[in-house]
Amino acid sequence: MTEPTEWIDVAAEGEIPPGGFCTVDWGRTSIAVINADGAYYAIEDLCTHEEEVLTNGDIEGDEIVCCRHGARFSLKTGAALTPPAYEPVQTFPVRVRDGRVEVGVPE
C-alpha cells in the first residue's frame, strides 16, 4: 500500500453496514470499500485470476470470496489466500473523517 496523496469521499459513516460495501471509481479502477464487522478495508474490486468483480462474491469476516472460481482474498492485505488466484489485489487505506468514509489513493 502506497501513501495516499488524495482522499476520495465514499459514503457517510454508518451508510455501509457490517458485511456490506460501497464502490467508487478511481480512473478506470473500481475500488470496493468494505465494512468487515466494523473495520473498513478497501481493495480493487477485480479478481486477479480472471477479472471477475469481487463484490459479486461473499464477504466472510475479513476475507472476500470470488464468485467465479472461489479464490479467497484477504481484505487486510489483498493477498490471494487460495487458488486459482495467486496474485494479490491492490489495497487502499481507509479513514473516517468528519463522519465521512474516505479512501486514500496515490496521485
According to the binding rule CB under 6 A, does residue 50 interact with ligand FES?
A: yes
According to the binding rule CB under 6 A, does residue 75 interact with ligand FES?
A: no
According to the binding rule CB under 6 A, does residue 32 interact with ligand FES?
A: no
According to the binding rule CB under 6 A, does residue 31 interact with ligand FES?
A: no
Buried b (16+ CB within 10 A) or exposed e, 46-57: bbbbeebebbeb
Residue selected from 47, 59, 89, 105 as contacting ligand FES according to rule CB under 6 A: 47
Give the total of residues touching ligand FES (CB under 6 A): 10
Distance of CA 27 to the CA centre of its chain: 16
Q: Are 40 and 31 in contact (CB under 8 A)?
A: no
Q: Are strands 21-26 and 29-36 parallel, antiparallel or unpaired?
A: antiparallel
Binding site for ligand FES (CB under 6 A): 47, 49-50, 52, 66, 68-69, 71, 84-85
